Amino acid sequence: MFPPPRGASANELTLLEFDPDEFSAVDVVPEKQRERGRRPGRAWVLLTVCAAWLSGMGGAFVGTYLANRRDDPPHRPSSLGVVVAPPRDQEYGPIDVASVNAVVGASVVAIQRVIADGPLQGESFGTGVIITTDGEILTNAHVVADAKTVNVRLAGETEPRLGAVVARDAANDLALIRVDAVGLTAATFAAVGSVRIGDEVVAIGYALDLDGDPSVTRGIVSALDRTLNTDGGALNGMVQTDAAISSGNSGGPLVNAAGEVLGINTAVATSSSDTAANNVGFAISVERLLAEIDRLRSSSDGAPLVEGYLGVSLDQRHDGGSGALVTGVETGSPADMAGLKTDDVVTAVDGEIINGPSDLVATIRNVAPGTTIKLTVVRDRDRKELDATLVERAKT
Protein backbone atom coordinates (compact mmCIF):
# COMPACT_ATOMS: atom_id res chain seq x y z
CA MET A 1 0.00 0.00 0.00
CA PHE A 2 2.55 2.56 1.17
CA PRO A 3 6.29 1.90 1.27
CA PRO A 4 7.72 1.70 4.77
CA PRO A 5 10.05 4.53 5.80
CA ARG A 6 13.74 4.10 5.25
CA GLY A 7 16.11 3.01 7.93
CA ALA A 8 13.66 1.26 10.24
CA SER A 9 16.26 -1.13 11.55
CA ALA A 10 14.58 -2.04 14.82
CA ASN A 11 11.12 -2.42 13.36
CA GLU A 12 8.99 -1.45 10.40
CA LEU A 13 7.06 1.84 10.32
CA THR A 14 3.79 2.23 8.50
CA LEU A 15 2.10 5.51 7.63
CA LEU A 16 -1.51 5.39 8.65
CA GLU A 17 -3.41 6.33 5.50
CA PHE A 18 -6.03 3.72 4.58
CA ASP A 19 -6.41 2.13 1.16
CA PRO A 20 -9.55 -0.03 1.03
CA ASP A 21 -8.12 -2.08 -1.85
CA GLU A 22 -5.80 -3.67 0.71
CA PHE A 23 -8.75 -5.12 2.60
CA SER A 24 -11.48 -7.57 1.63
CA ALA A 25 -15.18 -6.96 2.11
CA VAL A 26 -18.45 -8.86 1.69
CA ASP A 27 -21.35 -7.23 -0.11
CA VAL A 28 -24.73 -7.89 1.47
CA VAL A 29 -27.61 -7.72 -0.98
CA PRO A 30 -31.13 -7.65 0.48
CA GLU A 31 -33.55 -10.25 -0.76
CA LYS A 32 -35.93 -8.88 -3.34
CA GLN A 33 -39.45 -8.71 -1.97
CA ARG A 34 -42.53 -9.62 -3.98
CA GLU A 35 -44.98 -6.79 -4.52
CA ARG A 36 -48.72 -7.38 -4.21
CA GLY A 37 -51.76 -5.08 -4.43
CA ARG A 38 -54.48 -3.73 -6.65
CA ARG A 39 -53.97 -1.35 -9.53
CA PRO A 40 -54.33 2.19 -8.20
CA GLY A 41 -57.36 4.28 -9.15
CA ARG A 42 -57.34 7.65 -10.91
CA ALA A 43 -57.23 9.64 -7.66
CA TRP A 44 -54.26 7.67 -6.46
CA VAL A 45 -52.54 8.23 -9.81
CA LEU A 46 -53.07 12.00 -9.48
CA LEU A 47 -51.68 11.99 -5.95
CA THR A 48 -48.74 9.95 -7.14
CA VAL A 49 -47.99 12.45 -9.93
CA CYS A 50 -48.18 15.37 -7.47
CA ALA A 51 -45.94 13.54 -5.04
CA ALA A 52 -43.46 12.81 -7.81
CA TRP A 53 -43.46 16.48 -8.85
CA LEU A 54 -42.89 17.63 -5.28
CA SER A 55 -40.22 14.99 -4.87
CA GLY A 56 -38.53 16.20 -8.03
CA MET A 57 -38.59 19.79 -6.81
CA GLY A 58 -37.20 18.68 -3.46
CA GLY A 59 -34.53 16.66 -5.19
CA ALA A 60 -33.57 19.65 -7.34
CA PHE A 61 -33.36 21.82 -4.23
CA VAL A 62 -31.20 19.28 -2.41
CA GLY A 63 -29.03 18.81 -5.49
CA THR A 64 -28.51 22.56 -5.83
CA TYR A 65 -27.76 22.80 -2.11
CA LEU A 66 -25.18 20.04 -2.27
CA ALA A 67 -23.67 21.46 -5.45
CA ASN A 68 -23.29 24.85 -3.79
CA ARG A 69 -21.56 23.20 -0.87
CA ARG A 70 -19.04 21.72 -3.31
CA ASP A 71 -18.21 25.04 -4.94
CA ASP A 72 -14.55 25.73 -5.53
CA PRO A 73 -13.04 26.15 -2.03
CA PRO A 74 -10.57 28.90 -1.12
CA HIS A 75 -7.08 28.14 -2.39
CA ARG A 76 -5.45 30.33 0.24
CA PRO A 77 -4.76 29.83 3.94
CA SER A 78 -6.86 31.27 6.69
CA SER A 79 -5.86 34.62 8.17
CA LEU A 80 -7.10 33.55 11.59
CA GLY A 81 -4.73 32.44 14.32
CA VAL A 82 -4.88 28.98 15.82
CA VAL A 83 -6.06 28.51 19.40
CA VAL A 84 -3.34 27.52 21.89
CA ALA A 85 -4.09 26.66 25.52
CA PRO A 86 -2.36 28.55 28.34
CA PRO A 87 0.66 26.90 29.97
CA ARG A 88 -0.20 23.91 32.11
CA ASP A 89 0.01 24.58 35.85
CA GLN A 90 -1.35 21.35 37.30
CA GLU A 91 -1.33 17.61 36.82
CA TYR A 92 -4.13 16.10 34.79
CA GLY A 93 -6.13 13.38 36.50
CA PRO A 94 -7.42 10.19 34.89
CA ILE A 95 -8.75 10.89 31.43
CA ASP A 96 -12.51 10.93 30.77
CA VAL A 97 -12.67 9.63 27.20
CA ALA A 98 -16.30 10.61 26.62
CA SER A 99 -15.68 14.18 27.80
CA VAL A 100 -12.56 14.52 25.68
CA ASN A 101 -14.38 13.24 22.61
CA ALA A 102 -17.19 15.72 23.25
CA VAL A 103 -14.66 18.57 23.31
CA VAL A 104 -12.65 17.73 20.19
CA GLY A 105 -14.90 15.40 18.19
CA ALA A 106 -16.56 18.19 16.18
CA SER A 107 -13.10 19.28 14.94
CA VAL A 108 -12.18 15.87 13.46
CA VAL A 109 -12.92 15.32 9.75
CA ALA A 110 -12.72 12.42 7.31
CA ILE A 111 -10.59 12.90 4.18
CA GLN A 112 -10.94 10.92 0.97
CA ARG A 113 -8.52 11.12 -1.95
CA VAL A 114 -9.12 9.68 -5.40
CA ILE A 115 -6.19 7.67 -6.77
CA ALA A 116 -5.92 7.45 -10.55
CA ASP A 117 -3.46 5.16 -12.34
CA GLY A 118 -4.23 5.22 -16.05
CA PRO A 119 -7.60 3.54 -16.57
CA LEU A 120 -7.61 2.28 -12.99
CA GLN A 121 -9.08 4.33 -10.18
CA GLY A 122 -9.15 3.83 -6.43
CA GLU A 123 -9.36 5.83 -3.24
CA SER A 124 -7.59 6.26 0.06
CA PHE A 125 -8.76 7.63 3.37
CA GLY A 126 -7.29 9.61 6.21
CA THR A 127 -8.22 12.07 8.94
CA GLY A 128 -7.81 15.79 9.54
CA VAL A 129 -8.41 18.31 12.30
CA ILE A 130 -10.03 21.74 11.90
CA ILE A 131 -7.69 24.49 13.13
CA THR A 132 -9.68 27.63 12.25
CA THR A 133 -13.39 28.41 12.26
CA ASP A 134 -13.30 29.38 8.57
CA GLY A 135 -12.38 25.96 7.26
CA GLU A 136 -8.61 25.45 7.52
CA ILE A 137 -7.70 21.82 8.22
CA LEU A 138 -4.39 20.23 9.21
CA THR A 139 -3.48 16.70 8.12
CA ASN A 140 -0.52 14.59 7.00
CA ALA A 141 1.10 15.28 3.63
CA HIS A 142 0.92 11.59 2.75
CA VAL A 143 -2.87 11.70 3.15
CA VAL A 144 -3.27 14.27 0.35
CA ALA A 145 -0.18 13.11 -1.63
CA ASP A 146 -0.05 15.11 -4.89
CA ALA A 147 -3.79 15.84 -5.09
CA LYS A 148 -5.02 19.38 -5.74
CA THR A 149 -8.37 18.73 -4.09
CA VAL A 150 -9.77 16.10 -1.72
CA ASN A 151 -13.19 15.25 -0.33
CA VAL A 152 -13.78 16.32 3.27
CA ARG A 153 -16.67 15.13 5.44
CA LEU A 154 -17.34 17.16 8.56
CA ALA A 155 -18.64 15.73 11.81
CA GLY A 156 -22.43 15.31 11.76
CA GLU A 157 -22.69 15.59 7.96
CA THR A 158 -23.34 12.90 5.38
CA GLU A 159 -22.19 14.71 2.23
CA PRO A 160 -18.57 15.54 1.49
CA ARG A 161 -17.31 19.04 0.86
CA LEU A 162 -14.60 19.83 -1.66
CA GLY A 163 -11.33 20.73 0.02
CA ALA A 164 -8.44 22.52 -1.67
CA VAL A 165 -4.92 21.42 -0.76
CA VAL A 166 -3.48 24.82 0.14
CA ALA A 167 0.07 23.77 1.02
CA ARG A 168 2.05 20.57 1.51
CA ASP A 169 5.43 19.80 3.08
CA ALA A 170 6.43 16.20 2.39
CA ALA A 171 9.62 16.48 4.46
CA ASN A 172 7.64 17.28 7.61
CA ASP A 173 4.64 15.19 6.47
CA LEU A 174 2.10 17.96 7.04
CA ALA A 175 -0.42 19.68 4.79
CA LEU A 176 -3.13 22.34 4.96
CA ILE A 177 -6.57 21.92 3.41
CA ARG A 178 -9.28 24.58 3.13
CA VAL A 179 -13.04 24.10 2.75
CA ASP A 180 -15.56 26.83 2.04
CA ALA A 181 -17.22 27.11 5.44
CA VAL A 182 -17.63 29.40 8.44
CA GLY A 183 -18.60 28.84 12.04
CA LEU A 184 -16.76 25.54 12.37
CA THR A 185 -15.41 24.23 15.67
CA ALA A 186 -11.63 24.71 15.75
CA ALA A 187 -9.47 22.46 17.90
CA THR A 188 -7.33 23.89 20.69
CA PHE A 189 -3.61 23.04 20.73
CA ALA A 190 -1.79 22.15 23.94
CA ALA A 191 0.78 24.63 25.19
CA VAL A 192 4.33 24.01 24.02
CA GLY A 193 6.27 22.11 26.67
CA SER A 194 3.14 20.85 28.41
CA VAL A 195 3.34 17.22 27.25
CA ARG A 196 4.80 14.78 29.76
CA ILE A 197 5.69 11.10 29.67
CA GLY A 198 2.90 9.14 31.33
CA ASP A 199 0.13 11.60 30.43
CA GLU A 200 -3.07 9.80 29.44
CA VAL A 201 -4.06 10.56 25.86
CA VAL A 202 -6.81 9.80 23.35
CA ALA A 203 -6.26 9.14 19.64
CA ILE A 204 -9.16 10.02 17.34
CA GLY A 205 -9.44 9.15 13.65
CA TYR A 206 -11.25 7.30 10.91
CA ALA A 207 -9.46 3.99 11.40
CA LEU A 208 -9.92 1.65 8.42
CA ASP A 209 -12.61 4.01 7.08
CA LEU A 210 -15.18 2.26 9.26
CA ASP A 211 -18.76 3.46 8.93
CA GLY A 212 -20.01 6.24 11.16
CA ASP A 213 -18.10 8.37 13.62
CA PRO A 214 -14.31 8.21 14.12
CA SER A 215 -12.69 5.63 16.37
CA VAL A 216 -11.54 6.71 19.83
CA THR A 217 -8.75 4.89 21.69
CA ARG A 218 -6.94 5.58 24.94
CA GLY A 219 -3.30 5.24 25.98
CA ILE A 220 -0.40 7.20 27.44
CA VAL A 221 2.53 9.23 26.20
CA SER A 222 5.22 6.55 26.08
CA ALA A 223 8.18 8.73 25.07
CA LEU A 224 9.10 12.14 23.67
CA ASP A 225 11.53 13.40 21.02
CA ARG A 226 11.61 10.28 18.88
CA THR A 227 13.06 10.55 15.37
CA LEU A 228 11.75 8.57 12.40
CA ASN A 229 13.10 8.16 8.86
CA THR A 230 10.46 8.23 6.13
CA ASP A 231 10.60 8.39 2.34
CA GLY A 232 9.73 12.09 2.62
CA GLY A 233 12.52 12.83 5.09
CA ALA A 234 13.38 12.60 8.76
CA LEU A 235 10.69 13.48 11.31
CA ASN A 236 12.01 14.52 14.71
CA GLY A 237 10.45 15.60 17.99
CA MET A 238 7.82 12.85 17.66
CA VAL A 239 5.53 11.80 20.50
CA GLN A 240 5.37 8.04 21.05
CA THR A 241 2.11 6.56 22.34
CA ASP A 242 0.61 3.15 23.05
CA ALA A 243 -2.91 4.31 22.15
CA ALA A 244 -4.18 1.98 19.43
CA ILE A 245 -3.96 3.66 16.03
CA SER A 246 -4.53 2.07 12.64
CA SER A 247 -4.53 2.79 8.92
CA GLY A 248 -6.84 5.73 8.33
CA ASN A 249 -5.79 7.48 11.55
CA SER A 250 -3.18 9.55 9.71
CA GLY A 251 -3.77 13.26 10.25
CA GLY A 252 -6.03 12.74 13.24
CA PRO A 253 -5.36 14.33 16.62
CA LEU A 254 -3.69 12.89 19.69
CA VAL A 255 -5.25 14.82 22.59
CA ASN A 256 -4.73 15.20 26.32
CA ALA A 257 -7.21 15.03 29.18
CA ALA A 258 -8.34 18.61 28.51
CA GLY A 259 -9.17 17.83 24.88
CA GLU A 260 -6.14 19.79 23.59
CA VAL A 261 -4.24 18.57 20.53
CA LEU A 262 -0.72 17.55 21.48
CA GLY A 263 0.13 15.79 18.22
CA ILE A 264 -0.99 14.57 14.79
CA ASN A 265 -1.00 10.77 14.45
CA THR A 266 1.33 9.80 11.63
CA ALA A 267 2.95 6.36 11.84
CA VAL A 268 2.83 3.06 13.67
CA ALA A 269 5.57 0.47 14.19
CA THR A 270 4.75 -3.00 12.91
CA SER A 271 6.50 -6.32 13.36
CA SER A 272 9.08 -7.50 10.85
CA SER A 273 10.73 -10.84 10.21
CA ASP A 274 13.19 -10.41 13.09
CA THR A 275 11.54 -7.89 15.45
CA ALA A 276 8.21 -7.53 17.21
CA ALA A 277 6.22 -4.34 17.80
CA ASN A 278 3.16 -3.84 19.95
CA ASN A 279 1.24 -0.57 20.43
CA VAL A 280 4.06 1.71 19.28
CA GLY A 281 2.58 4.70 17.48
CA PHE A 282 3.97 8.14 16.68
CA ALA A 283 2.49 11.62 16.42
CA ILE A 284 4.05 14.88 15.21
CA SER A 285 4.37 17.01 18.34
CA VAL A 286 2.62 20.31 19.00
CA GLU A 287 6.01 22.07 19.02
CA ARG A 288 6.53 21.04 15.39
CA LEU A 289 2.90 21.62 14.41
CA LEU A 290 2.68 25.25 15.46
CA ALA A 291 5.90 26.19 13.68
CA GLU A 292 4.96 24.21 10.59
CA ILE A 293 1.52 25.83 10.24
CA ASP A 294 3.24 29.18 9.79
CA ARG A 295 5.68 27.72 7.25
CA LEU A 296 2.87 26.10 5.27
CA ARG A 297 0.85 29.30 5.19
CA SER A 298 3.86 31.24 3.93
CA SER A 299 4.30 28.80 1.03
CA SER A 300 0.64 28.61 0.01
CA ASP A 301 1.03 31.20 -2.77
CA GLY A 302 3.36 28.86 -4.61
CA ALA A 303 6.56 29.98 -2.92
CA PRO A 304 8.73 26.93 -2.24
CA LEU A 305 9.53 25.99 1.32
CA VAL A 306 13.14 26.97 2.05
CA GLU A 307 15.33 24.72 4.15
CA GLY A 308 18.54 25.27 6.04
CA TYR A 309 21.76 23.58 4.92
CA LEU A 310 24.89 22.75 6.94
CA GLY A 311 26.97 20.68 4.51
CA VAL A 312 27.96 17.47 6.30
CA SER A 313 27.76 13.73 5.80
CA LEU A 314 26.53 11.84 8.86
CA ASP A 315 26.36 8.40 10.40
CA GLN A 316 25.21 6.75 13.59
CA ARG A 317 27.67 6.46 16.43
CA HIS A 318 28.92 2.91 16.88
CA ASP A 319 30.20 3.24 20.44
CA GLY A 320 26.82 3.28 22.20
CA GLY A 321 26.70 7.07 22.59
CA SER A 322 24.11 9.53 21.28
CA GLY A 323 24.56 12.31 18.76
CA ALA A 324 25.40 12.51 15.05
CA LEU A 325 28.81 11.34 13.84
CA VAL A 326 30.30 13.60 11.13
CA THR A 327 31.82 11.48 8.34
CA GLY A 328 32.47 14.28 5.85
CA VAL A 329 32.47 18.09 5.57
CA GLU A 330 31.72 19.87 2.30
CA THR A 331 34.41 22.39 1.36
CA GLY A 332 33.18 25.97 1.70
CA SER A 333 29.96 24.91 3.41
CA PRO A 334 28.62 26.44 6.65
CA ALA A 335 30.01 23.40 8.50
CA ASP A 336 33.46 23.97 6.99
CA MET A 337 33.39 27.69 7.80
CA ALA A 338 32.37 26.88 11.39
CA GLY A 339 35.35 24.54 11.84
CA LEU A 340 33.47 21.25 11.96
CA LYS A 341 35.70 18.25 11.22
CA THR A 342 35.35 14.60 10.27
CA ASP A 343 34.83 12.34 13.31
CA ASP A 344 33.28 15.17 15.33
CA VAL A 345 30.06 14.20 17.14
CA VAL A 346 27.28 16.80 17.16
CA THR A 347 25.36 16.38 20.42
CA ALA A 348 23.20 19.53 20.49
CA VAL A 349 21.98 22.47 18.40
CA ASP A 350 21.19 25.67 20.30
CA GLY A 351 21.07 23.63 23.48
CA GLU A 352 18.60 21.07 22.11
CA ILE A 353 19.89 17.50 22.36
CA ILE A 354 20.61 15.70 19.08
CA ASN A 355 19.93 11.98 19.38
CA GLY A 356 21.24 10.83 16.01
CA PRO A 357 21.97 11.82 12.39
CA SER A 358 18.30 11.93 11.36
CA ASP A 359 17.56 14.23 14.26
CA LEU A 360 20.30 16.61 13.14
CA VAL A 361 19.11 16.56 9.51
CA ALA A 362 15.53 17.39 10.54
CA THR A 363 16.65 20.11 12.93
CA ILE A 364 18.84 21.87 10.35
CA ARG A 365 16.19 21.53 7.64
CA ASN A 366 13.65 23.49 9.68
CA VAL A 367 15.97 26.43 10.47
CA ALA A 368 15.72 29.44 8.16
CA PRO A 369 18.75 30.09 5.93
CA GLY A 370 20.84 32.95 7.27
CA THR A 371 20.33 31.87 10.86
CA THR A 372 23.42 31.34 13.01
CA ILE A 373 23.19 28.25 15.18
CA LYS A 374 25.39 27.00 18.01
CA LEU A 375 26.65 23.44 17.56
CA THR A 376 27.76 21.48 20.60
CA VAL A 377 30.48 19.11 19.41
CA VAL A 378 32.54 16.37 21.04
CA ARG A 379 36.01 16.07 19.48
CA ASP A 380 38.56 13.66 20.95
CA ARG A 381 36.52 13.60 24.17
CA ASP A 382 36.66 17.41 24.43
CA ARG A 383 33.48 19.47 24.21
CA LYS A 384 33.44 22.47 21.87
CA GLU A 385 30.92 25.14 20.87
CA LEU A 386 30.93 26.14 17.19
CA ASP A 387 28.82 28.80 15.45
CA ALA A 388 27.52 28.01 11.95
CA THR A 389 25.48 30.32 9.72
CA LEU A 390 23.19 28.20 7.55
CA VAL A 391 22.57 28.69 3.84
CA GLU A 392 19.61 27.58 1.76
CA ARG A 393 19.48 23.96 0.71
CA ALA A 394 19.62 23.60 -3.06
CA LYS A 395 16.42 22.32 -4.67
CA THR A 396 16.72 18.86 -6.21
Count CB atoms within 10 A of the CB of residue 222. 18
Do the beta carbons of residue 389 and residue 372 sit within 8 Å? yes
Q: How do the residues of the chain divide into helix, strand and coil, expressed in percent and rounded to 5?
A: 20, 35, 45
Backbone angles phi, psi at 157, to 5 degrees: -110, 155
Do the beta carbons of residue 253 and residue 265 sit within 8 Å? yes
Count CB atoms within 10 A of the CB of residue 154. 22
The gap from C-alpha 383 to its chain's centroid, in whole angstroms, comes to 37
| Amino acid, res. 27 | D
DSSP sequence for 165-206: EEEEETTTTEEEEEES-SS--PPEEPPTT---TT-EEEEEE-
CA pair distance 18, 157, nearest whole angstrom = 21
Nearest alpha carbon to residue 257 among 103, 105, 100: 100
Nearest alpha carbon to residue 268 among 282, 250, 284, 252: 282
Active site members: 142, 173, 250
Count CB atoms within 10 A of the CB of residue 17. 25
Count CB atoms within 10 A of the CB of residue 323. 23
